[in-house]
């Protein structure tokens, strides 16, 4: 246990510990003030020194296997999942720690409610992220990844205080894992859900690989920020579009964070529109199929645009234009698709005929039309669509307004001149018999007109495109396909999986559109599984997001070498009860896990179709009001803070910054408040070791109010207000001369999920033999919270002899009378004269005899 040796500093040695890394307490003198580095030293009385016990408890929990769950025999299974990290060499990011700690607070709280909580962890170590770091360091990714994982696990993840069950640790890079990633690909292939096709794809010139649509943010590579180029390449796709409608429909039932659902709904982008065909002038045998979401604007059509590789182009382009069109097709095969790209296009010399007016509408080829979007052909209405407007301006095409805002003068569109496209619905003008209708009325009428003639129909389209999973890189699972000259693409037989990633010297990306594996003859050359003829292996590897699309299925069965998941364990533990993670994966990982789960369900491998019963997105954190980034130099290194303040302080501080689902702002100044809080808890508990067990009256009420608040807040992931309630409660306990054992224990139990080390240590010091983390969560009594009745202690000469229930509105005189007549107290009063009666409001009546 390396981490214990390295941090096992003797108590009191804190002040002399050197500061090793940049982001440690050296930067934080303002947080502590008065020239002292460590606030712990400032506090008099019993000393809270996390170094004296955090390593001890880490070791003991591990030794006792406290967080290991007997998966087969657990009575109340609860699967608490968090997104496993990319083990980059930069180390665990503070955003990861924030996410993991919040998830762990939930898991610990569920465990204290009697659930058998399974909280596994693993490493998502394949992919560009890891490989790029290896390139930077010039170290083979296999070596670097192993080293990073070791550091993540031992020096970081084990110290943050999470209740991880390490006995089910996963590495996506292990052949025993990616064997099943490949197996899933083969199942999808057999079901027709994996397909190789030529399509316009996103190419990152820096990473020298294609990217999925979801990995392109505002025209730039999600990983490196380069402006992405478009290339036409033959690639492997998973047919997520087959599931577009179900992925959309299921959103309504999901208990997932609303912002994730909104993002997914937009990404799927369902539109209802009109698909229709138009005749082509001079070519009676040809028609062009067009899709539009705005049939009401059809009279404003001034051009038709075809995607650059639309099959019609070769057949219709007039001879004089063929060369220009061919040149254009060649040029756009490799273009940047960044946001401010100029519009380009080329005329085919041919016209379509407007379905209502028979007017000639020029047919253009333009790369703003994507091959897979709609029919690969659009009707261009510049007046009512921003992209069409940009194209018309660039090409000098006419603009014809046919829908006007309701408040505009109803006049011929030629007089209605405006610079911008009018994209909202309105009133139709210059639209034949439809003029004067609203957009909504016209939409229905126009679609009906096409359907009556059989030249068009209502159609639903989705923005979602198929998931491109080929990567021309080294560090990933080889796609398990063999190309036979006779049989074409043949999946590798399941008993020959995994297709092991060969350990090669030349693993750097080469940029020619093929993976470095293509140069490895011993890998490439194989035989066809069907006929035994010489054949070649696919040399691309699969997308890292395929690895992470199913890891939650593997955790419970991580040691099963015979199958991807054990059906019995899967029935018992899945779907995941709660997954918490960052919202940045809303249309990537979180869409892919839903798709893969749905597909595996349909193929009969799973009896559920939704991966996570609940998903909550944690917020993001900023540093001193600014976005955290390397370029700003404000990266928060969790190690430094944990080293100097301890894991508990770091955990509580992270959870106290703001509402967990909203995020918060990290400031060094804020930490000292949490240091003081835990110090005060420490002192309070140790000062009051032997006291009366049960609180009464107002004190009992305050305790139950706190239990209620903390319980409700933790359930709602409002950790910040739960901590605030605990701070208030601590304050009321500190104000008092005496505190009962029950109150101290309640305080510790409520704090345990947030600060697992200090509560465990104090729990032991209060005399408990078993872990606080196996204790039951306190329950609140509704009757104790009611304001109507209170319990008062009755003392005789300072010793508690009885307790009375009394209305909280009773007067002092009434209370004193009732105390005097209390049965048990009377026994001690027999034969004595009452000298005086001391009344302490809300607490007690002390009867003093002469």
Residues in contact with Zn ion by CB under 5 A are 204, 206-207, 221, 223-224, 226, 484, 486-487, 528, 530-531
Q: In terms of CB distance, is 132 or 413 closer to Zn ion?
A: 132
In the complex, the smallest distance separating the C-beta of residue 87 from Zn ion, rounded to whole angstroms, is 20
Residue 365 DSSP symbol: E
Sign of the Cα torsion 306, 309, 310, 311 reads positive
Determine which helix (DSSP H) or strand (DSSP E) holds 623, and give its type and residue range.
strand 621-623
Q: At what angle do helices 756-765 and 741-751 cross, to 10 degrees?
A: 160
Q: In terms of CB distance, is 206 or 676 closer to Zn ion?
A: 206
In the complex, the smallest distance separating the C-beta of residue 145 from Zn ion, rounded to whole angstroms, is 19
In the complex, the smallest distance separating the C-beta of residue 210 from Zn ion, rounded to whole angstroms, is 10
In the complex, the smallest distance separating the C-beta of residue 204 from Zn ion, rounded to whole angstroms, is 3
Nearest to 94 by CA among 666, 756, 588: 666
Q: In terms of CB distance, is 531 or 738 closer to Zn ion?
A: 531
Q: In terms of CB distance, is 46 or 529 closer to Zn ion?
A: 529
Is-contact 325 344, C-beta < 8 A? no
Q: In terms of CB distance, is 184 or 499 closer to Zn ion?
A: 499
In the complex, the smallest distance separating the C-beta of residue 276 from Zn ion, rounded to whole angstroms, is 40
Q: In terms of CB distance, is 111 or 221 closer to Zn ion?
A: 221
Q: In terms of CB distance, is 29 or 225 closer to Zn ion?
A: 225
Is-contact 618 93, C-beta < 8 A? no
In the complex, the smallest distance separating the C-beta of residue 588 from Zn ion, rounded to whole angstroms, is 15
Q: In terms of CB distance, is 410 or 531 closer to Zn ion?
A: 531
Label residues 183-219 b or e (16+ Cβ within 10 Å = b).
bbbbbbbeeebbebeebbbbbbbebbbbbbbbbbeeb
CA angle 584, 590, 596 (to 5 degrees): 155
In the complex, the smallest distance separating the C-beta of residue 222 from Zn ion, rounded to whole angstroms, is 8
The token duo for 709 is 């608040």
Q: Cα–Cα distance between 737 and 224 in angstroms, integer?
A: 61
In the complex, the smallest distance separating the C-beta of residue 131 from Zn ion, rounded to whole angstroms, is 11
In the complex, the smallest distance separating the C-beta of residue 507 from Zn ion, rounded to whole angstroms, is 17
Is-contact 549 589, C-beta < 8 A? yes
Q: In terms of CB distance, is 482 or 755 closer to Zn ion?
A: 482
Q: In terms of CB distance, is 207 or 699 closer to Zn ion?
A: 207
Residue 690 to residues 614, 685, 694, 756, 761: CA-CA distances in angstroms?
A: 43, 10, 12, 23, 17
Residue 643 DSSP symbol: H
In the complex, the smallest distance separating the C-beta of residue 483 from Zn ion, rounded to whole angstroms, is 9
Is-contact 711 780, C-beta < 8 A? yes
| Strand positions, DSSP E, 293-359 | 303-306, 334-336, 345-353
Residue 180 to residues 104, 375, 477, 546: CA-CA distances in angstroms?
A: 28, 36, 10, 11
In the complex, the smallest distance separating the C-beta of residue 665 from Zn ion, rounded to whole angstroms, is 30
Q: In terms of CB distance, is 509 or 638 closer to Zn ion?
A: 509
Calculate the CA dihedral of residues 699, 703, 704, 710 and round it to 10 degrees. Answer: 160
Residue 103 to residues 100, 106, 532, 618, 715: CA-CA distances in angstroms?
A: 5, 5, 51, 9, 12
Give me the phi and psi of 16, to 5 degrees please: -95, 0
How many Cβ atoms sit within 10 Å of the Cβ of residue 602?
15
Q: In terms of CB distance, is 631 or 811 closer to Zn ion?
A: 631
Nearest to 191 by CA among 611, 608, 600, 564: 600
Give me the phi and psi of 428, to 5 degrees please: -80, 140
Q: How would you classify residue 488: left for phi > 0, otherwise alpha for psi between -120 and 50, otherwise beta?
A: left
Q: In terms of CB distance, is 229 or 643 closer to Zn ion?
A: 229
In the complex, the smallest distance separating the C-beta of residue 137 from Zn ion, rounded to whole angstroms, is 18
Q: Cα–Cα distance between 139 and 33 in angstroms, integer?
A: 44
How many Cβ atoms sit within 10 Å of the Cβ of residue 255?
12
In the complex, the smallest distance separating the C-beta of residue 217 from Zn ion, rounded to whole angstroms, is 11
How many Cβ atoms sit within 10 Å of the Cβ of residue 274?
23
CA angle 394, 395, 399 (to 5 degrees): 90
In the complex, the smallest distance separating the C-beta of residue 634 from Zn ion, rounded to whole angstroms, is 24
Calculate the CA dihedral of residues 206, 211, 214, 215 and round it to 10 degrees. Answer: -20
Is-contact 421 388, C-beta < 8 A? yes
In the complex, the smallest distance separating the C-beta of residue 179 from Zn ion, rounded to whole angstroms, is 23
Q: In terms of CB distance, is 279 or 489 closer to Zn ion?
A: 489
Q: In terms of CB distance, is 408 or 489 closer to Zn ion?
A: 489
Q: In terms of CB distance, is 222 or 760 closer to Zn ion?
A: 222
In the complex, the smallest distance separating the C-beta of residue 535 from Zn ion, rounded to whole angstroms, is 6
In the complex, the smallest distance separating the C-beta of residue 492 from Zn ion, rounded to whole angstroms, is 13
In the complex, the smallest distance separating the C-beta of residue 770 from Zn ion, rounded to whole angstroms, is 52
Q: In terms of CB distance, is 224 or 738 closer to Zn ion?
A: 224
Q: What is the DSSP string of 813-833?
A: HHHHHHHHT-HHHHHHHTT--
Distance from chain centroid for Cα 498: 29
SS3 string, 216-280, reads EECCEECCCCCECEEEEEEEEEECHHHHHHHHHHHHCCCEECHHHHHHHHHHHCEEEEEEEEEEE
Q: Cα–Cα distance between 793 and 694 in angstroms, integer?
A: 11
Q: In terms of CB distance, is 142 or 206 closer to Zn ion?
A: 206
């Amino acid at each position: 246990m390396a981490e214990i040796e390295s941090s096992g500093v003797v108590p009191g040695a804190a002040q002399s510990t050197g500061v090793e890394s940049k982001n440690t307490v050296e930067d934080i003198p303002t947080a502590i003030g008065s020239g002292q580095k460590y606030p712990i030293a400032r506090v008099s009385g019993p000393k809270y020194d996390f170094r004296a016990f955090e390593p001890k408890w880490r070791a003991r929990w591990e030794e006792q296997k406290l967080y290991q769950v007997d998966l087969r025999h657990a009575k109340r299974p609860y699967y608490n999942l968090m997104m496993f990290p990319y083990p980059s060499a930069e180390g665990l990011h503070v955003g990861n720690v924030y996410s993991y700690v919040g998830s762990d607070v939930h898991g610990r709280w569920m465990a204290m409610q009697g659930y058998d909580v399974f909280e596994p962890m693993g490493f998502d170590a394949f992919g560009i992220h890891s490989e790029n770091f290896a390139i930077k360091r010039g170290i083979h990714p296999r070596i670097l990844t192993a080293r990073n994982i070791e550091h993540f696990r031992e020096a970081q993840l084990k110290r943050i205080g999470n209740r991880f069950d390490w006995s089910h640790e996963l590495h996506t890079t292990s052949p025993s894992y990616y064997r099943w990633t490949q197996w899933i690909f083969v199942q999808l292939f057999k079901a027709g859900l994996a397909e190789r096709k030529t399509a316009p794809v996103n190419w990152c010139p820096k990473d020298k690989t294609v990217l999925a649509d979801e990995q392109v943010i505002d025209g730039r590579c999600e990983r490196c920020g380069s402006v992405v180029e478009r290339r036409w390449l033959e690639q492997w796709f998973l047919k997520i579009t087959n599931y577009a409608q179900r992925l959309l429909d299921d959103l309504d039932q999901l208990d997932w964070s609303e912002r994730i659902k909104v993002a997914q709904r937009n990404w799927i982008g369902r539109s209802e529109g009109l698909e229709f065909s138009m005749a082509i002038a001079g070519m009676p045998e040809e028609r062009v199929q067009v899709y539009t979401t705005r049939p009401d604007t059809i009279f404003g059509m001034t051009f038709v645009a075809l995607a650059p590789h639309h099959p019609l182009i070769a057949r219709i382009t007039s001879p004089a234009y063929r060369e220009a069109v061919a040149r254009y097709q060649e040029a756009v095969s490799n273009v940047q698709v960044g946001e401010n790209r100029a519009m380009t296009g080329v005329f085919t010399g041919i016209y379509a005929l407007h379905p209502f007016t028979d007017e000639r509408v020029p047919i253009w080829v333009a790369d703003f039309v994507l091959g897979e979007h709609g029919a690969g052909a659009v009707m261009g209405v510049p007046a009512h669509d921003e992209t069409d407007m940009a194209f018309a301006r660039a090409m000098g095409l006419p603009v014809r307004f046919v829908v006007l805002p309701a408040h505009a003068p109803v006049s011929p569109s030629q007089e209605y001149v405006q610079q911008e496209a009018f994209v909202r619905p309105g009133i139709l003008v210059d639209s034949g018999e439809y003029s004067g209708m609203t957009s909504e009325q016209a939409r229905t009428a126009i679609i009906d007109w096409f359907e009556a003639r059989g030249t068009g129909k209502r159609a639903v389209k989705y923005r979602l495109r198929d998931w491109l999973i080929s990567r021309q890189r080294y560090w990933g699972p080889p796609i398990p396909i063999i190309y036979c000259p006779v049989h074409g693409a043949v999946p590798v037989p399941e008993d020959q999986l995994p297709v092991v990633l060969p350990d090669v010297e030349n693993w750097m990306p080469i940029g020619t559109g093929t993976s470095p594996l293509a140069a490895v003859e011993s890998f490439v050359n194989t035989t066809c599984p069907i006929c035994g003829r010489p054949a070649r292996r696919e040399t691309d590897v699969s997308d890292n997001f395929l690895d992470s699309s199913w890891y939650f299925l593997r955790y419970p069965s991580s040691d099963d070498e015979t199958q991807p998941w054990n059906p019995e364990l899967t029935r018992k533990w899945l779907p995941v009860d709660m997954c918490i993670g960052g919202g940045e994966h809303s249309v990537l990982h979180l869409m892919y896990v839903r798709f893969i789960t749905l597909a595996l369900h349909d193929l009969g491998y799973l009896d559920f179709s939704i991966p996570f019963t609940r998903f909550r997105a944690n917020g993001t954190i900023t540093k001193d009001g600014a976005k955290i980034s390397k370029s700003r130099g404000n990266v928060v290194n969790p190690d430094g803070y944990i080293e100097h303040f301890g894991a508990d302080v770091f955990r509580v501080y992270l959870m106290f910054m703001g509402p967990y689902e909203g995020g918060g702002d990290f400031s060094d100044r804020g930490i000292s408040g949490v240091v003081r809080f835990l110090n005060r808890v420490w002192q309070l508990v140790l000062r009051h070791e032997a006291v009366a067990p049960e609180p009464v009256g107002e004190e009992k009420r305050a305790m139950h109010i706190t239990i209620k608040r903390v319980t409700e807040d933790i359930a709602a992931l409002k950790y910040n207000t739960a901590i605030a309630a605990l701070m208030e409660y601590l304050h009321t306990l500190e104000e008092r001369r005496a505190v009962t054992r029950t109150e101290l224990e309640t305080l510790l139990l409520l704090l345990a999920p947030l600060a697992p080390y200090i509560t465990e240590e104090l729990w032991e010091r209060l005399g408990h033999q078993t872990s606080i983390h196996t204790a039951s969560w306190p329950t609140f009594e509704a009757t104790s919270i009611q304001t109507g009745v209170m319990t008062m202690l009755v003392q005789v000469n300072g010793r508690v002899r009885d307790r009375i229930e009394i209305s909280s509105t009773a007067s002092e005189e009434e209370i004193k009378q009732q105390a005097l007549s209390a049965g048990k107290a009377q026994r001690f009063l027999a034969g004595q004269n009452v000298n005086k009666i001391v009344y302490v409001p809300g607490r007690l009546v002390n009867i003093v005899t002469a």
